[in-house]
Structures are given as C-alpha cells and as structure tokens.
Structure 1
Amino acid sequence: MTIDFKKVMEKAEEYKPQISAFLRDMIAIPSESCDEKKVVLRIKQEMEAVGFDRVEIDPMGNILGYIGTGKHLIAMDAHIDTVGIGNPENWEHDPYKGYEDEQIIYGRGGSDQEGGMASMVYAGKIIKDLGLDNDYTLLVTGTVQEEDCDGLCWQYIIEESKIRPEFVVSTEPTSLGIYRGQRGRMEILVSVDGISSHGSAPERGDNAIFKMAPILMELKQLHLRLKDDPFLGKGSLTVSEIFYTSPSRCAVADGCSISIDRRLTLGETWENALEEIRKLPSVKKAKGKVTMYDYKKPSYTGLTYPTECYFPCWVLDEDHAACKTLVESFKSLFKEDPVVDKWTFSTNGVSIMGRYGIPCIGFGPGAENQAHAPNEITWKKELVKAAAMYAVIPWLYIDKYTRRQNHGV
C-alpha cells in the first residue's frame, strides 16, 4: 500500500468545519490547570464519535485515545489545560466565547494548545476513513497540569501506567515547523532572614529586604555569564516573584524571598544552577538559602503526584527516524521543505525525552507568540495541515524506518 497524499489533504480540508467547531467547544470550556475535567469529557465525546478504538481517562485525569492494535506504539500529545485570561480589559472579545472567520479562531487555548488536540482527533478520523492503518498503535494523549508543571503528566504515564512509546510527537505550537528540542528550566527559591524592629528605629533591626537588594543585582549579572549553546541558545534567569514578612508597615522586614525562573541550555545541570547562586558573594554574605521548589498540587481527580520543579532540556538528532519521518511527511504533503528548529518555551518533552530518553519531536498548529497572550488566535489552515500530517506520520514511520530496518534495507 502507498499513501495518496492528495486524498489525505482533501479529507483534512473536508473536516475543517468539524475541526473548527470542536476547537471552539474546547475554548468555550475554561480549563486551567487542575480544573480540566469538563474539557476532558468533551474530548472523550469527540474521540468516540470519530471512531477511536479505545478511550480511557487515567487516575491523574489524562485522556488516552487509541487507534489500531499494531506492535509499534507511537504517541501524539497535547496538553489540554490553559493559563488564565489575565486582565479581561486586555481582550478585545470574550476569551471563551471567542469568534471565528474564514482564516482564524479566537480564544484562550486556540494556539496553546487545544488546537493540537483538535487536529489530532481528526487525524484519527482520516486514518480510519482512508485505511491508513499499519503495524502501529497510535496513542493520542490529552494531558493535564502542563501549565502548572510541564511533564508531570508524562512522569505519571511512564512511571505508573508503564507506557513507553517508540517516539512522541508534541503538538505544541510550532507554526507548522518541526521542532527537535528546547531548553530546560527550573524554579528556584532564594530566602534571606532579618530581624524586625520598629520602623522608627531601623538600626535596631536587620532589614531582610535590604539584604536581598545586592543579591538581585548580582543575579542580573549572573544571567549575562550563563552558558550558551549553538542550537538551543543561551541559559537564562530572571527574578519572577518577590515576597517578604514583616510585623507591619511600621516595622523592619524580617524575611525576604524571591523566585527565579532559570532556563537551562545543553550542558547545564540543576546542581550547578543552584551552586552558581549559592556562590554569589551577596548570597554568602546574607547567608541566603537557595533551594528548588517542589510541586504537589492535586489534579482535578484529587490525585497528588509530587515532583521537584526541575525540567531537563533535550535535543533530538536530525538523523533520528522520528525527525526524518516528520520531514518526509511534510515534504510529501506540502511539496516544500519544512523549517526545522526548536522551541523557546518548555513542553512535556522535558519528561518524555529529558527525563526518560523517549524520542520526542514537535509539530503543531498555532504560534509560540500567541501562548499566554491576550487576544490569542490560531489559523484554520494550520489546523487542517496539522491533521493531515498527524494522519500520515505513523504509516510513514512504519513503512520507512521499521520494516526496512527489519529487512536490512
């Protein structure tokens, strides 16, 4: 059997109204991290309606849809939680009601990243319609809590459900580029202690906020010295939050803490990232405590699956079969060369490949610059093209990179 790529594209275009309607239904359901139940149930309904062979919801609340029963397990992933809307005044239209025209769909989650889920589900229908089954099982995952703790969902899927695909396609937004890596990240807490006194006699106390000030300036300089990588780019840090404790506004602060968003490039480790901060002269002088945050919020099912807030970087080699499969799928469908690049932000790949070494590759509708932004949009033509891609990737992988290898070709 060979694939008729023209028919795949025709089918994807035929389903554009259904893909759009399904995405708008998901957007209309608020689904911030730890509150995804309603959108998961809506996805389950759509998967069953288009003919998935099996649909399950695991104890964490992730939805797992299966097509086929072949021996090669291939997964495609979309996190289906979103961030909040922020200041409503920054939105030109209701972020949940949204709107659509001939080109775009507007609303929270369209690009980041329920659009990927809409395209995956209808890729499943295209596979069924055109008989694109092969010796594979396709697992489509709608994962939870990614915006709160990227990769936690896949820690659970791999560790507890014992699912290990041969590779995973992340459908995070790539503007239809093929993304093969990302920097890692970690969340760091720096705390200093002081001694309170009455604000009228500050010399009697030890002001923790003043002790934090030189630390902030040295962190700003540390950012400039961090390691660079020719593909992933430079490691970075920024101070994202500041907290204090004080008996009153008429007192010297007796505690001050900051949160640091630390992005890790290739070759950096979480141990070194902590030690770099501990060695700063201002931290030593203030006897600052430098630790990594933990995450232990319960999912919408009530399950708590604690982890440290460390999310490793990862890079997939361009010569890997998964990357080659996506490049060939793109060329076959669209008659042009794809952009092969990397994400700026973080994805579930931090666990899939970063922690567990399962090959991960990215291809998704929507744009990175729409993520977490007001007036978020995604493009219908990208949803259609992504559905076509997802439909042919498993077949081409089996045909080109498993059967031929098995026969020594």
Structure 2
Amino acid sequence: MKELDYDKIKEVAESHREDMTRFLRAMISHPSESCEEKEVVACIKEEMERLGFDEVKVDGLGNVMGFMGEGDKILCMDGHIDTVGIGNRDNWEADPYEGYETEELIYGRGGSDQEGGVCSAVYAAKMMKDLDLIPEGYKIMVVGTVQEEDCDGMCWQYIYNKDGIKPEFVISTEPTDGGIYRGHRGRMEIRVDVRGVSCHGSAPDRGDNAIYKMADIIADVRALNNNGCDESTDIKGLVKMLDPAYNPDHFEDARFLGRGTCTVSQIFFTSPSRCAVADSCAISIDRRMTAGETWESCLEEVRSLPAVKKYGDDVKVSMYMYDRPSWTGEVYQTECYFPTWINKESAPHVKALVEAHKALFGDERIGCEPSMDKRHRPLVDKWTFSTNCVSIQGRYGIPCVGFGPGAESQAHAPNEITYKQDLVTCAALYTAALNLYDGSAASSDATEFRAGLTTNDIK
C-alpha cells in the first residue's frame, strides 16, 4: 500500500473545483428523467474521454462506464444519472435545467440527487491516474447508472448478470449529508386492486362502489403506518419491529435503520362515466422495510388488514413488476422489491472510508453550514432513502458503502442545490479511501444484515 500524501490529495482535488463545477452544470443542463438519459450519457462519456480514461463504454441498458488502470480486480464508484421530474414549475425560483451558480453552490435538478456524485467520482479517477494512486492489481470503475429513480438497482442487476461485471466493492456516491453510510432500509411496491359493480349514479345502491371499498382499505393502510403496537391495538403499527417482542432477532438492526413505513402513493379507478358508480379501484403502496421484515410479511400484513379481509375475493394484493424500456430500448424485467442491507462498521471497505475521512478531514462530519442541519449525527450512519445498493449488496452481496456530495433533503425537492466544496471533499476522499482499502482483510462476514430474496430466479 502506497504512502499517501493527504495534503497533496486535497490540493489536487481543490485544483479541479472549477472543472467539476463546469461538468456538473453541463450534466444538469440535460434533462434526464428515467429512460430519457441519452443526452447526459453522451455528456459524461465525452468528459471521461477528455480526461483520458483508459476505457469508456455504454452498455446495452445505457449505463455509461469509465475505467482507469489495467488490474484484474475492480473497485467501483457508482452514481445514478437519471433524475426525477421538476413537478410544478411554479415552485422553482429559476430554470431547473439552466440553473445557476454562486461562489458556494450549484442550483438545478440533479445536483444533489445525484449527478454531483458522478462528477466527484469521475474526477477522483482522474486524480488517481495523475497521482499514480491506482492500487496495484485493480482497475477503477466509474459508472453512471440509469433508471434508478424508477427501479432502484435494476441497472446493477443488468451490470452483474448481463455485463458480467462484479466489483470487489462499491462506493455509492448518493448524497450523505457529510456522513459515511453503511446501510439503509429496503422497499417494495405493492398494488391493491378492488372490484366493484357499476350502475347509474342516480341510484348508487344498485351497484357496488369500488372507491368506497378502497376508502376503507386506505384507512387501514394509514393505521398500519401510524398506530402503536400495544396489545389492545387492532391494527398493530409498523413501529412494532423496533420491539424485541415482535422482532427478537433483528430489533437492534431495525433501531439502527429506523422503523418501516407505508404510504399510499397512487390511486386509479375505472367507471363508465362521471355519472356512474366506479367498478374498480386500485392503489399503489410505497413500503419501506426495516431489518426483520420480508417481502412475504409485507404482503401478508396488507392481506390481513380488516378491510381487505372484509371484502374477501374482491381484493387482490400483489407486488409490482418493472418492465419500462431504457433509453436504448432494452427491457430488463424485474420485481419491484429492493432488499434491506447493513454492513458491519468493522468491515474493511467501511473502515477505508472512515480512515480516509479522519486523515483528510477529522472524525466529525464536515460541509457547508446550510446543508449541515444534521451536523451532529454520527460520522458513520445510514440513508433514509433507498439506493442502487439494494442490488449491489442486497441481492449480490458485493460490499457497499456510501459517501456523496449534497444533502438528502435536496433529493426530489424544488430549488435543488449542491455545494462546490462537497464536490472537492468527495473527490479527495474517494482517492484516499480506494487506496486505504485492504482487500486481504475482506471476508464473508462483512454483512451485518441482508434481507432474503424472493423465489423468482431473475437473470
């Protein structure tokens, strides 16, 4: 392992501040919602080629990959390059794609979530080449992944199964509020369908209103999220998984990750007309899963709700499948289930980032004041939301750890910003951490918790 000059690493990272600002603003300028990433892929590919990456390619799904070095083993930095939409344009104080910059910040859709992370990773790889800091026997991979906002980790199912690329470990560059993140809750997308019978709206008693049935079910879903879990509660709330009485094997991990949640995210109906009784209704449920919960238990919880049981065979509870074509036209069908995962704090890939942070910046979180409302959280922590790591670690057991520019609170919000200093900080930390990683210390027990997979054999 080479002796690292941490002051030099910080100096070189700082020298790239203007270039990283320019690159991130270029990425932001290309609208890139899921399945529409073609232009931003071209932008990233061009930048990688300009910076002298040894190999740059775009795979069949549309992920853009750059490689530095010639080793047989791979250390990877991942960032998704798709964004959510802008929502109500009136909520934005400036054009979300033209954006703007000040001395401290960059404004625009995707700056924090999460093209800023890709920007820092690209320049970290350049720094490693320029400083002769590509670890012996390895190549450095930077990947800009597609469709994460639509289907977390599906891009990595493709990379693992179709491209046949299996890194030794992966740094996720999702925003982390200045922290090093070793896990997060999983999630799944549940659909509930209810049948009714239509009739003329002037005599609604002749029909069977599916919307009214669904209203009862929605009330129960809300109770499942909001209720406590004492014995007298009919619908025991999801907070129960923090209690050893309900989750004896995993309550401590659940307390680290936080409780599971559920919310109704979409509603649909069919009706012959506006003057008729609705004959079907469906909802989508966004279900966040903590340690100890399984895809089966989550479906069964909904099936066991009093209103669902009341309406019997008129109700169907199922898990969504995802099959939207990518920007290249490729379809990779997968279930909308994204496993929970946690790494041990003692795992070598987690320790590499912690040691790099302490050597470069100390043992407390740093960052620009406006983005550090949670400055006093532990340096090593977890995400609130979900990332591509649901596949990288959750499905395939490839160790992951997170450190990325920007704030979680900026994700999916109007007037999204990220900070120039964060770009510099992350480029420096990635450069050091990938050199402090001790692959010889890696073992199969680095994972503290991984949720089980379904019986589907998805290749």
TM range (shorter): over 0.9
Q: AA paired with 2:212?
A: F
Equivalent of 1:325 in 352, 363, 380: 352
Deviation at 1:277, TM superposition (A): 0.8
Deviation at 1:337, TM superposition (A): 3.8
Q: AA paired with 2:268?
A: F
Q: Does structure 1 retain, via aligned residues, the 8 Å contact 2:348–2:442?
A: no
- SS in structure 1 of the partner of residue 32 of structure 2: coil
**Whole-angstrom CA distance in 2 between matches of 1:81 and 1:293:** 21
What is aligned with 1:381? 421
**Whole-angstrom CA distance in 1 between matches of 2:359 and 2:8:** 12
What is aligned with 1:81? 82
- SS in structure 2 of the partner of residue 263 of structure 1: strand
- Pairing 1:402–2:434 present: no
- SS in structure 2 of the partner of residue 262 of structure 1: strand
- Pairing 1:197–2:180 present: no
Q: AA paired with 1:219?
A: V
What is aligned with 1:248? 273
What is aligned with 1:150? 152
What is aligned with 1:47? 48
TM-superposition CA deviations, 1:67-104 (whole Å, max 9, x none): 11223311110000111111110000110111101100
Q: AA paired with 1:387?
A: A
Deviation at 1:403, TM superposition (A): 5.6
Q: Does structure 1 retain, via aligned residues, the 8 Å contact 2:257–2:382?
A: yes
- Pairing 1:370–2:410 present: yes
Deviation at 1:237, TM superposition (A): 0.3
Please give the residue correspondences for 1:344-355 in structure 2 after superposition, counting only pairs within 5 Å.
344-355=384-395
Distance 1:360 1:195, change over 3 A: same
- SS in structure 1 of the partner of residue 393 of structure 2: helix
Please give the TM-score of this superposition, normalised by the length of structure 2: 0.86
List runs of 5+ in structure 2 lacking aligned partners. 228-236, 243-253, 366-378, 444-459
Deviation at 1:253, TM superposition (A): 0.9
Q: Does structure 1 retain, via aligned residues, the 8 Å contact 2:347–2:442?
A: no
- SS in structure 2 of the partner of residue 47 of structure 1: helix
TM-superposition CA deviations, 1:369-409 (whole Å, max 9, x none): 00000000000111000011111222111xxx236789xxx
Deviation at 1:336, TM superposition (A): 3.1
Deviation at 1:134, TM superposition (A): 1.9
Q: AA paired with 1:41?
A: A
Distance 1:66 1:233, change over 3 A: same
**Whole-angstrom CA distance in 2 between matches of 1:368 and 1:290:** 31
Equivalent of 1:314 in 341, 365, 370: 341
**Whole-angstrom CA distance in 2 between matches of 1:92 and 1:385:** 28
Q: How many residues align?
A: 403
Percentage identity across aligned positions?
61
TM-superposition CA deviations, 1:102-136 (whole Å, max 9, x none): 10000000000000011111111211221112222
Deviation at 1:166, TM superposition (A): 1.1
Q: AA paired with 1:140?
A: V
**Whole-angstrom CA distance in 1 between matches of 2:276 and 2:329:** 41
**Whole-angstrom CA distance in 1 between matches of 2:364 and 2:104:** 23
- Pairing 1:261–2:261 present: no
- SS in structure 2 of the partner of residue 354 of structure 1: coil
Please give the TM-score of this superposition, normalised by the length of structure 1: 0.96
Deviation at 1:335, TM superposition (A): 2.9
**Whole-angstrom CA distance in 2 between matches of 1:9 and 1:354:** 33
Deviation at 1:27, TM superposition (A): 0.3
